Amino acid sequence: MNLTEPRELAPLLEAFLLASGKPQSMERLFELFEEGERPEPAVFKKALALLGKSCEGRAFELKEVASGYRLQIREKFSPWVGRLWEERPQRYSRAMLETMALIAYRQPITRGEIEDVRGVAVNSHIVKTLLEREWIRVVGYRDVPGKPAMFATTKAFLDHFNLKNLDDLPPLAELRELEPEPMLEFDDAPVPQSLQELADASAEPEEPKEETSFHSLLLELDTMEEGLKTDFDDLLREATDLDGETDEHAQPGSEVELQAEPDPEPEEDILGVAAAREKLLAAVAALEPREPEPELSDEEAEARALAEAIENERRQFED
C-alpha cells in the first residue's frame, strides 16, 4: 500500500475512524503510523478530503468536531436509527438547557452570575450533572469575596452538539428570530364563529318585558274585595239565640257537650283575601322606582356579551 498516495490512504483512515467509534485528532492519527511510513501532513489533509467526498450520498458522513474527526450517521436518519436502542433518549429540563446556554455564550461565568440572569436559584443537581457528563469544567475562581468558581464548556460539549469550536454556535440574533411569537392579547385573538354568533345574539336589544303598573294592582285588589261581607252582627245574634235554646233543653245537673264546628265560610274568605293582599303589597313594593344602571358603551356591551357567550360555551362543553 502506497501511503504517500491520498487515494490509498483515505480507505485506511476510514478504517481507523470506524474501528475507534469516537473522534480522532490529527495528532492521534499520525501516531498510528511508524515513523518511516508516516505520510506528510499535506497528504493526510488530501486523504481526509477524499474520504469526506466519498461519503456523499451515503448514510454516514465525515465530521470534524472539537476532538478531531469522526464518521457518524447523518442526522436525518436519527429517528429511525434510534429505534435500535430500547432506552429512550435523554430529555433535558428547561432549567438545565438555560444554564448550559449561559455557560456556553458567557463563559467563564459563575453560578451567581447565572442566577442573576435567570432570576432564580440554580439547582446544585444541574451543575453536578453537567460536571459528571464533562460538558463543563471549572476554569478558575472569580477574584471577589467568596472566590466563586467559574465554569466553561469542554470539548465533550462541542463533540456532543456537533461543533468544531465555539464560533460554530448560532448567533444570538438568529436564536431570537426562532423565538415563538408572543400570544395575542384578548382583543386581538380570533374569536370562533360560534362564539361570535352567540355574542351578537346576546348584544341585540331585548324586547321590553311587560310590567304590571301600580294602578292595575290596586284595581285588582279592589275587585277581590267586592262583595266581601264586612258586617257580622247577624252572625252574633244567631249565636246568642242558639246558646239560649241549648240552655232551655238542657236538664239541671247535666253536661252539654259542644261539638267543634268548622269556621264559617266568610272568615275563610277574609283570610284568603288577607293573604292575597300581602302578596300584592309585596309586588307593589318590588315595583318601586330604582336607580337606573349606568349605560354601557357599545364596546363595553360587546365585550360583556362576548364574555357571557364564552362562559355559556364553556358550560355547554362541560355538560
Over the chain, what is the mean pLDDT?
Answer: 74
Burial 140-152 (b: 16+ CB within 10 A, else e): eeeeeeeeeebbb
- Does the pTM surpass 0.75? The reply is no
Q: What are the φ/ψ torsions at residue 101 (nearest 5 degrees)?
A: -65, -40
Task: Answer whether residue 194 shows pLDDT above 70.
Answer: no
Q: Identify the structural domains of the chain with CATH numbers, from first to last.
A: 6-84 (1.10.10.10), 94-178 (1.10.10.10)
Q: Between residues 153 and 246, which one has the greater pLDDT?
A: 153
Mean pLDDT of 122-129: 89
Mean pLDDT of 185-191: 50
Q: What are the φ/ψ torsions at residue 272 (nearest 5 degrees)?
A: -65, -45
CA distance 40 to 30: 9
Q: Which of 157-161, 267-271, 299-303 has the highest mean pLDDT?
A: 157-161
Q: Between residues 105 and 200, which one has the greater pLDDT?
A: 105
Mean pLDDT of 84-113: 84
Q: Which of 49-53, 94-98, 116-120, 209-213 has the lowest mean pLDDT?
A: 209-213
